[in-house]
Amino acid sequence: MALKAKTKRRLLGFSAALLLGCILLNVAAYRHASAMMRFATGGSRTHEPEKLSFLQKSKALFCGVTIPRPESRGSPLDLGTNASSLKINCTNGITLGAWYCPAPAGDWLVILFHGYAGEKSSTVPEAKAFLEMGMSVLLVDFRGSGDSSESYTTVGFAEAEDVAAALRYARTNLPHRRIALYGQSMGAAAILCAVHRCAVQPDAIIAEAVFDTLLNTVRNRFQAMGVPSFPSAQLLVFWGGRQARFNGFRHNPVEYASAVRCPILFLHGAADPRARVEEARRVFDAVPAPKHFHEFPRLRHQAILTAYPDVWKKVVREFLCKSPGGTTDNSPPFQFQRWVPNVQAPSLRANPPNHLARNGCSNRLIL
């Protein structure tokens, strides 16, 4: 009897410890999700996972990260003297900040969407490249960033409505013949989500550093911190979705891709640890429309234009100017292919890609 009582107490103690552990893990996941999706009003931003010490990683895991609300830097004049600021009305009273700069006589209007915890000025280098190609540009702040209202993000889900609102505004108010949507990381995911959920129909899409599923990109973040992703990644996606009122497990660009009907160009770094190249290939394979995938060697989750300016401009120019219906001269049409690995990779003459910086941030984090 004494042995049975002792065994029973041990089982009860083990069960209580297990229950307490589960509760603490869920509390940590809830706090972490809240910190990732609701921008802080102040404080210093938590460094990238790879740069954190053991104590900093522990604090981030159990207390959440600190991500201040992204505020606008610079002005539309960074694009040119004829650039201006705009306000775009979105759903539920949300307003989006934007910069517009027309090209002298361009047929294309390119709408640019930034990545997670970014804002429109982070796409100024790409916008300038488009302007050099003779294309007008519209740089948009997602909700919660820059000159837009709100202070939260949903990593591309609700931002799909921002994409749809920007496209509606452009078609109604801005001169154009054709419109392309360009998105970095979360911006690319939001574009694909808008195509699927909001039935937007641009003339072309450029998806840079896109992830395949929200769960996978969260897993990648935990792996970057050197900690097991299970079950923390699943709990983070669950609680993040609950807080933002959507199913995080169904926020999957790989599923949205089947709705794409226009030509689409994928640009991706071969060494991207946040959105792995094999995950981006899954999104590419799911697209039924004309498509092209260009991989950039050794590049991590960062600005491709900064590392490979000549190749980026060449591939993008040929894609937009020679895609079906977009030819601006008598040159042959763009040759869409299923897969182009490591094409035209120049040597990096300065620092390696993972040390490149743009606007003070070397890596544009997805999560």
Ordered by start, the domain boundaries in the chain are 2-63, 76-213+251-355
Q: What is the pLDDT of residue 335?
A: 57
Q: What is the pLDDT of residue 104?
A: 87
* Residue 290: pLDDT over 80: yes
| Average pLDDT rounded to a whole number, residues 288-317 | 97
Q: What is the pLDDT of residue 350?
A: 36
* Residue 363: pLDDT over 70: no
Listed range (30-34, 296-300, 323-327) with the worst mean pLDDT: 323-327
* Residue 277: pLDDT over 90: yes
Q: What is the pLDDT of residue 282?
A: 99
Band the pLDDT of 330: cuts 50, 70, 90.
very low
Q: What is the pLDDT of residue 54?
A: 65
Higher pLDDT, 25 or 196: 196
Higher pLDDT, 203 or 366: 203
| Average pLDDT rounded to a whole number, residues 199-225 | 96
Q: How far apart are CA 116 and CA 98, in angstroms?
A: 17
CA 350 to chain centre: 26
Band the pLDDT of 345: cuts 50, 70, 90.
very low
* Residue 327: pLDDT over 90: no
CA dihedral 101, 105, 107, 111 (to 10 degrees): -10
Band the pLDDT of 338: cuts 50, 70, 90.
very low
Q: How far apart are CA 132 and CA 119, in angstroms?
A: 22
Q: Render pLDDT for 26-76 as a digit per residue (tens, 0 to 9).
A: 999 999 999 999 999 877 787 776 666 767 766 766 667 889 999 999 999
* Residue 281: pLDDT over 90: yes
Third-level CATH fold of 76-213+251-355:
Rossmann fold (3.40.50)
Average pLDDT value for the chain: 87
* Residue 158: pLDDT over 70: yes
Q: What is the pLDDT of residue 322?
A: 79
| Average pLDDT rounded to a whole number, residues 178-200 | 98
* Residue 249: pLDDT over 80: yes
Q: What is the pLDDT of residue 66?
A: 87
Band the pLDDT of 339: cuts 50, 70, 90.
very low
Phi, psi dihedral angles at 292 (to 5 degrees): -150, 140
Q: What is the pLDDT of residue 50?
A: 64
* Residue 342: pLDDT over 80: no
Cα-Cα-Cα-Cα dihedral sign, residues 180, 305, 313, 293? negative
* Residue 108: pLDDT over 70: yes
Output DSSP code: residue 134.
Answer: T
Q: How far apart are CA 54 and CA 56, in angstroms?
A: 5
Q: What is the pLDDT of residue 141?
A: 99
